Amino acid sequence: MINKLAILSIEGYQRYLSPHKGYCCAYSHFTGKKSCSEFTKLCIQKYGLFKTLPLFKAHIDKCKIIYIAEEHKAKEKKIDMCNELAGICACV
């Protein structure tokens, strides 16, 4: 019963909240694999809610690491672009 309630909650989140929050799961976006919510839903179906909790935590941690790494890459790219523009402007 608790597994079904958890799965229904995740499906409600996926259908009604996630599309409107303005961003997607970094893990899914950058790896092409299942989102955190889809991964968790499948694990609950296979292992049950309580065995899934540590798997969910590990998956969220991976998502956070990927997000931070990609954010860092984007900042470096922006800095490189600004440095290139500064070099162009200095030559004028």
pLDDT of residue 83: 63
Nearest to 23 by CA among 31, 32, 35, 12: 35
83-92: per-residue pLDDT in tens? Answer: 666 666 555 4
Q: How many residues does the chain have?
A: 92
Six-digit token string for 16: 């009604």
Asked if pLDDT for residue 49 goes beyond 90, the answer is yes
* CB under 8 A, 24+ apart: contacts of 47-50: 48/3, 49/2, 49/3, 49/6
pTM of the complete model: 0.75
Average pLDDT for 46-54: 97
How far apart (Å, rounded) are the C-alpha atoms in residues 33 and 53? Answer: 19
Check whether 58 has a pLDDT greater than 80.
yes
In order, the DSSP letters of 43-89 are HHHHH-HHHHHHHHHHHHHHHHHHHHHHHHHHHHHHHHHHHHHHHHH
